[in-house]
Each structure stands twice: as structure tokens, then as C-alpha cells.
Amino acid sequence: MNKKTYIIAVIILIIDQISKSLIEIFIDLEESITVIPNFFYLTVAHNTGGAWSIFSNHSYLLIIASIIAIILLIKFMFGFKNNLRNNLAFAFLFGGIFSNLADRLFLGYVRDFLDFKIFGYDYPIFNIADITIVVGVFLLLIAIIKGEDRRDKSSK
């Protein structure tokens, strides 16, 4: 991966941290502001768990899981072909994981604020870091399906 990958990861971390801080300045915890009625709301929530609040109040497990994920990403990223999609995938993953990890380490919870109701389902509240993690995983799955998770012997 190249230097731009790390720069993008840091930009994602900064954008996510700033967005979380700004939301908490203007909206109180548990308060909800309607952006698009019956679809999109800004709702401040403190999540002590992971996705769908799994492992709630077990931040130490999620901190350990995040550190393991970062180590594995570092180990495996050099086995992927060096192209724009793969670089973005790793940048999105690193930026998102590090930002949520920072929340867990310094606050004991992750700050979430994007709240959607889709086809009557009140989707769990999430943040920008969560979006980048999902997009990063999706991009890596495409790379794996395309066989870009192994470099040719000639490229080593």
C-alpha cells in the first residue's frame, strides 16, 4: 500500500472525530432531530458495545478485537495487489477502526448519531467510521472474489 492510503485513513479518522464532536455540541444525548421524516434522524447515542450493541459494557473485548483486526489488516494488506480499490479499502478500514477505537479508549463508548428507519425497521444508530468499515470490507470482498488477495510471484 502507499502513503496515500495512510493519509486517507487519517483524514477519515479526523472527519469522524470532528463529526462526532460537533453532533454532541449541538444535540443532547438521546435527543433526536428529524432530517427526513420517517427516514433519517440525527440521534446522539453512546454505544458501549459493537454493531447492534453486541458485547455491551464489554469495551475491553472490543478494544482487543480492534487491535487484533488492525494487526491482521497490516499483515494481510501487503498480500493484496496495489491498486486504487484495495488502497481505499484498507484506508477506509484503518480510518474507521482507529476512530472507533479512539472513542472506546478515551471515552469508554463509541459516539453514534446517524439514525435511519428503513421500510419500518429502526436501524441501529451508527457513525461515519462504521460506514467506512462496511465499505472497506465490501471493497476487500470484491478484491478477494477477483483474486486480488494474492500477488503474482513476479510482483514480490
Instruction: For residues 113 and 10, give the distance between their C-alpha atoms in angstroms, rounded to a whole number.
Output: 21
Paired with 41 in beta bridges are 34, 115
Of the residues 115, 130, 149, 152, which is catalytic?
Answer: 130
Q: Are 53 and 59 in contact (CB under 8 A)?
A: no
Instruction: For residues 16 and 112, give the distance between their C-alpha atoms in angstroms, rounded to a whole number.
Output: 10
Q: Catalytic annotation on 115? A: no
Of the residues 28, 112, 115, 122, which is catalytic?
Answer: 112
Q: Catalytic annotation on 130? A: yes
Active-site annotation, residues: 112, 130
